[in-house]
Amino acid sequence: MALLDETPLLPARHLKLIEWASHYYHHPIGDVVFTSIPSLLRKGKAAIIKQEVIWLPTESGRKLKPENLSRAKKQLSILQFIKQHQHGVSQTRIQNEFENARNPLNELSVKNLIEKTTPATEKSDETVACQKDKAWILKPNKEQQNAIDKIISCSAAYQAFLLNGVTGSGKTEVYLHLIRYILESGKQVLVLIPEIGLTPQFIERINERFGDSIVTLHSGISEGERLIAWLKARNGTASVVLGTRSAIWTPMPRLGMIIIDEEHDLSYKQQDGLRYSARDLALIRGQREKIPVLLGSATPSMESMKNTRDGRYQELLLPKRINNAKLPDIQIHDVKNEKMYGAISQYLLKNIKQCLHNKQQILLFLNRRGYAPVVMCHDCGYISQCPRCTVYMTFHKHNKRLHCHHCGHNKRLPNTCPDCSGNQLIDVGHGTERLEETLAELLPEAKILRIDRDSTRRKGSMQKMLNDIHTGNADILIGTQMLAKGHHFPKVTLVGIVDADRGLFSIDYRASERLAQILMQVSGRAGRGGTPGTVIVQTHYPEHPLLNKLALHDYTQFTDLLLEERQQTQLPPFSFQVLIRAESNQQEIAIKFLNIAKTRLQTAAQGKLEIYGPVSAPMEKRAGRYRLQLIIQAGNRQTIKKFLTPWIESLDQLPEARKVRWSVDVDPQDMI
């Protein structure tokens, strides 16, 4: 093997973290290394940074009046974008921001409005001070200042903090002040955000303050960009790394703080391969590097709430919205027996009309994309079951196909029933596509925007829709959870939760926690611009205690209820779990493997562990394979660890293990 790099790719401290993860998650160390480095490095690319092209406005570019480029809209937008950055912008970043940017860039350069440079030497961040301009005029309020001071006073040692603040209470502003402090002390900051939370608004806000000392790492960048960002972080030339889950693996030589926004978010847990939790790893990393770790959320996870109660985390509260803006009024609306227009109750419709009349925006939340979640035959009862999974296939009207959202299987919607050839196929239930159609019929004048994974597939389309929302070029926003988090829509005053019932009754004990989180997050979108907001929650179970606690905005009381329940039932966070999953296209084979495994563990553990199963996973079959699981539970991590490590090694030797696909999930978040 050729020697590609002269300096070691991963610092020793980082290798230790990898070792820890390999051990804790029972995952082969080679694979952990692979997961944790950019894929181009895995393929043998040398770890050096190619010189980047930086674009700067020329003198005439600076002076140009927008009217003079009015017929070249894209060139104008790009020029404006470049002008916003005094040190110029890299070509990569422009291409991230604008689709097909190459031609307009050439045009602008031919017109002598912009020019290229390459940085002579990389700026070291000691010289990259924060932008000192108007962005910092917001003075932290008392609660924010208190949080900032507390954290700064512990900045030379490990301490976990939970910044528990309602939506719009100024958490992000606290992060920004802390980042500034850490940068000014010559250190680096790692900021993790959820997959969906990486909103352009957030990036803009952070860019505005820290300009080019930031690199971002998320699924939207190319592998080349990822490598450059990673190297800059590792070399210490980037002071802030802003990224989703996998950014936790970025080596940073002068790391001074880790911030995790929306710490309760599920996307921090990887659900396949190395099933790590970026939040938990951040805490471990913080302990080892002796730096503070800040977790922020309006709806903290039960794990973090318990850790706070046990005194392991320091809790910092931001109980009020900035400028005492009112939290929205949450109305639990009983839809039983009410006249419905598709998925919309008469009451919700009346409120929507009122908002439209007042020229305010409306956000309708429905976490189900597609047209109808199932298609059924009226004659024989046929149902559009996925042939490979135990779920129904969703009807998507725009391409007239049935899609399985779990395995990707899809097919044309048949004209007649596949079972009885009858022609009475009916689509049942409501997805975002259908909601859009219903509203377009009811309110032909309204401008409706649907924002889900289907409508935002094309690069730049999300950005365009967000622009439409902000410029008022949209009246009704229909969205899945993509819209629930992180965004700031000042003109939205009414939020409708179209269907709250699905989350109330589920076999997964975490479902109520998730429902609460999503309800609070979506509600947090309402009334941020000064006009108080209203949230209408459509349900058939208005007396449900959970909904009622939430209507009072009392997440703490809700937490009390839920933690009490979890304690009584000895479920996490009052116990620790490991899930062993086994999949096979023959159910018996998976059962046999798990039974043998279970017997071995029972013999070894002598009653010190609780072992449940084998049981079918909630989704019994997926992509043609039966899925079964063993749940192993104990009151503390050490007990699990002690018995699991030798046991898992012994399983590898079993001939039955070779016949199934099996995996270990430590601290599982999702039973599916």
What residues line the site for ligand ADP (CB under 6 A)? 138-141, 144, 165, 167-173, 322
Contacts of 595 (CB under 8 A, 6+ apart): 614
- Minimum CB–partner distance for residue 406 and Zn ion (Å): 5
173 vs 436, beta carbon nearer ligand ADP: 173
Examine residue 409 and tell whether it contacts Zn ion (CB under 5 A).
yes
d(CA 367, CA 465) in angstroms, rounded, equals 18
If the CB atoms of residues 243 and 429 are measured against ligand ADP, the closer one turns out to be 243
Residue placing its CB nearer to Zn ion in the complex, 234 or 621? 621
Per partner kind, with CB cut-offs from 5 to 8 A, the member of ligand ADP, Zn ion, none near residue 342 is none
Q: Is 528 strand, coil or helix?
A: coil
Q: How far is the CB of 395 from Zn ion (least distance, A)?
A: 14
- Distance in angstroms (rounded) separating the CA atoms of residues 540 and 192: 37
Q: Decide which of ligand ADP, Zn ion, none touches 409; Cβ closer than 5 to 8 Å per partner kind.
A: Zn ion
Q: What angle do CA 340, 346, 349 make, to 5 degrees?
A: 115
Do the beta carbons of residue 555 and residue 592 sit within 8 Å? Answer: no
* Alpha-carbon dihedral sign for residues 177, 130, 193, 195: positive
Q: What is the size of the binding site for Zn ion (CB under 5 A)?
A: 7
Q: How far is the CB of 141 from ligand ADP (least distance, A)?
A: 5
Q: Based on CB atoms, which residue is closest to Zn ion, 404 or 634?
A: 404
Smallest gap, in angstroms, from Cβ of residue 391 to Zn ion?
6
Neighbours of 146 (CB within 10 A): 15
The listed partner (Zn ion, ligand ADP, none) that binds 389, CB under 5 to 8 Å by sort, is Zn ion
Q: Computed from CA positions of residues 337, 339, 340, 346, in that sequence, does the dihedral angle turn out positive or negative?
A: negative
Q: Which helix (H) or strand (E) holds 671?
A: none
**Shorter beta-carbon distance to Zn ion: residue 83 or 401:** 401
Give the C-alpha separation, 171 to 322, whole Å: 10
Query: 525 or 625, CB closer to ligand ADP?
Result: 525
Q: Any contact of residue 495 with Zn ion (CB under 5 A)?
A: no
Nearer to Zn ion, 485 or 625 (CB): 625
Smallest gap from residue 388 Cβ to Zn ion (A): 4
Which of Zn ion, ligand ADP, none lies near 157, with the C-beta cut-off 5 to 8 A by kind? none
Q: Which does 386 bind (CB under 5 to 8 A by kind): ligand ADP, Zn ion, none?
A: Zn ion
Q: Is residue 64 involved in binding Zn ion (CB under 5 A)?
A: no
Phi, then psi, of 76 in degrees rounded to 5:
-60, -45
Here the tokens at position 430 are: 């409501």
Angstrom distance (rounded) from CA 615 to CA 293: 38
| Three state DSSP letters for 443-509 | CCCCCEEEECCCCCCCCCHHHHHHHHHHCCCCCEEEECHHHCCCCCCCCEEEEEECCCHHHCCCCCC
User: If contact means CB under 5 to 8 A according to the sort of partner, which of Zn ion, ligand ADP, none does residue 140 touch?
Assistant: ligand ADP
Which listed option, Zn ion, ligand ADP, none, makes contact with residue 407 (CB within 5 to 8 Å by class)? Zn ion
One character per residue 341-380, x = contact with Zn ion (rule: CB under 5 A): ----------------------------------------
Minimum distance from residue 142 beta carbon to ligand ADP (Å): 10
Nearer to Zn ion, 408 or 532 (CB): 408
Instruction: Give the nearer residue to Zn ion in terms of CB position, either 387 or 472.
Output: 387
Helix, strand, coil shares, percent, the chain, to 5:
40, 20, 40
Nearer to ligand ADP, 171 or 450 (CB): 171
Q: Which does 404 bind (CB under 5 to 8 A by kind): Zn ion, ligand ADP, none?
A: Zn ion
DSSP code string of 97-127: HSTT-HHHHHHHHHTTSEEEE--SSPPPTTT
Min separation Cβ 231 and Zn ion, Å: 39
Handedness of CA 496, 501, 504, 508 (dihedral sign): negative
Which CA distances in Å does 246 have to 14, 34, 175, 241? Answer: 14, 12, 20, 11
Nearest approach in angstroms of CB 201 to ligand ADP is 9
Q: Of 193 and 248, which CB lies nearer to ligand ADP in the complex structure?
A: 193
According to CB under 5 A, which residues from 385 to 404 bind Zn ion?
A: 386, 388-389, 404
Could you tell me the CA-to-CA distances from 168 to 171, 298, 326 in Å, in that order? Answer: 7, 9, 10
Between vectors from CA 221 to CA 129 and to CA 27, what angle results, nearest 5°? 100
Closer to ligand ADP at the Cβ: 169 or 538? 169
Interaction between residue 407 and Zn ion (CB under 5 A): yes
Neighbouring C-beta atoms of residue 12, cutoff 10 Å: 7
Residue 672 C-beta: closest distance to Zn ion, Å: 13
Q: CB of residue 572 vs ligand ADP: minimum separation in angstroms?
A: 27
Question: Rounded distance, CA 419 to CA 336, Å?
Answer: 34
Residue 170 interacts, among ligand ADP, Zn ion, none and using kind-specific CB cut-offs from 5 to 8 Å, with: ligand ADP
Choose from Zn ion, ligand ADP, none: what does 144 bind? Cβ within 5-8 Å by kind.
Answer: ligand ADP
State the minimum distance, in angstroms, from the CB of residue 454 to Zn ion: 17
141's contact among Zn ion, ligand ADP, none, with CB below 5 to 8 A by partner kind, is ligand ADP
* Contact present, 364 and 355 (Cβ < 8 Å): no
Cis peptide before 614 (omega within 30 of 0): yes
CB 325 within 8 A of CB 528: yes
CB of residue 399 vs Zn ion: minimum separation in angstroms? 17
Residues found near Zn ion in the complex (CB under 5 A): 386, 388-389, 404, 406-407, 409
